[in-house]
Amino acid sequence: MPPQSASTSSGTPPPIRVHILGAGPVGLILTALLQPTERFSVHLYEKRRDYTRTRMVQLASSLVAESVESYCTDYIDQESVQAVFDPKEISNVLAFRESVPSDLKTLLRGWTQGFCPLNAIERSLSDLIDARQSHPVQRTTAVVTAEDAVAMLEPGDILIDCTGARSVLRDQLVPGADAASGANTYTIRLEYALVITFLYGQAYECNESCKYYKNIENAHYKFIPAVNRTFYDGSVSHVTGIVNISAEDYERMPSQFDGQWLRDNFAHVAESMDRFIAKIKQETNGEIVGDLEIIRIPLQLYHARNATSREWRRTRTGDHPFSRSPAFLVGDSAMGSPYFQSISLGFECAMFLAALLAERDLDLGDVLDRYELYAYKQWLRVYMRSKMIKHNKDLLECVGNDDALLEKLHIY
Ligand SMILES: Cc1cc2nc3c(=O)[nH]c(=O)nc-3n(C[C@H](O)[C@H](O)[C@H](O)COP(=O)(O)OP(=O)(O)OC[C@H]3O[C@@H](n4cnc5c(N)ncnc54)[C@H](O)[C@@H]3O)c2cc1C
- Cβ–ligand 1 contact at 161 (below 6 Å): no
Neighbours of 188 (CB within 10 A): 14
Rounded CA separation 369/346 (Å): 18
Which of 20, 47, 108 gets mutated to test ligand 1 (max ligand atoms within 8 A of its CB)?
Answer: 47
Taking 50 as the pLDDT cut, the residues of the chain under it are 6, 227, 229
Q: How high is the pLDDT of residue 246?
A: 95
CA atoms within 13 A on the CB side of 319: 2
- Ligand 1 neighbourhood includes 311 CB (under 6 angstroms): no
Residue 86 has a CB neighbour count (10 Å cut-off) of 11
Inter-residue contact 389 to 244 (CB < 8 Å)? no
The secondary structure of 322-357 as a DSSP string is HHHS-EEE-GGGTEE-SSS-HHHHHHHHHHHHHHHH
Cβ–ligand 1 distance for 241 under 6 Å, the answer no
The pLDDT of residue 1: 58
Neighbours of 259 (CB within 10 A): 18
Q: Which pLDDT value is given to residue 318?
A: 65
Q: Are strands 335-336 and 288-304 parallel, antiparallel or unpaired?
A: antiparallel
C-beta of 268 in contact with ligand 1 (< 6 A): no
Site to probe by mutation for ligand 1, drawn from 19, 26, 293 as the one with most ligand atoms within 8 Å of Cβ, is 26
Is 204 near ligand 1, meaning CB less than 6 Å away?
Answer: no
- Between CA 410 and CA 147 the distance in angstroms is 47
344 lines ligand 1 (CB under 6 A): yes
Instruction: State whether the beta carbon of 24 lies less than 6 angstroms from ligand 1.
Output: yes
Ligand 1 contacts CB of residue 346 (under 6 A): yes
Distance CA 393, CA 224 (A): 8
Give the pLDDT score at 400: 86
Alpha helices by DSSP H, 53-197: 68-72, 78-84, 87-98, 102-111, 118-131, 146-152
Looking at ligand 1, which residue's alpha carbon is closest to its atom 2? 55
Atom of ligand 1 nearest to the CA of 118: 17
Q: How far apart (Å, rounded) are the C-alpha atoms in residues 170 and 303?
A: 9
| C-alpha torsion sign, points 310, 312, 313, 315 | positive
Rounded to the nearest 10 degrees, the angle between the axes of helix 118-131 and helix 102-111 is: 170
pLDDT in tens, 362-392: 999 999 999 999 999 999 999 999 999 999 9
| Cα 403 to Cα 224: distance, rounded to the nearest angstrom | 21
| Euclidean distance between CA atoms 361 and 355, whole angstroms | 12
Residue type, 181: S
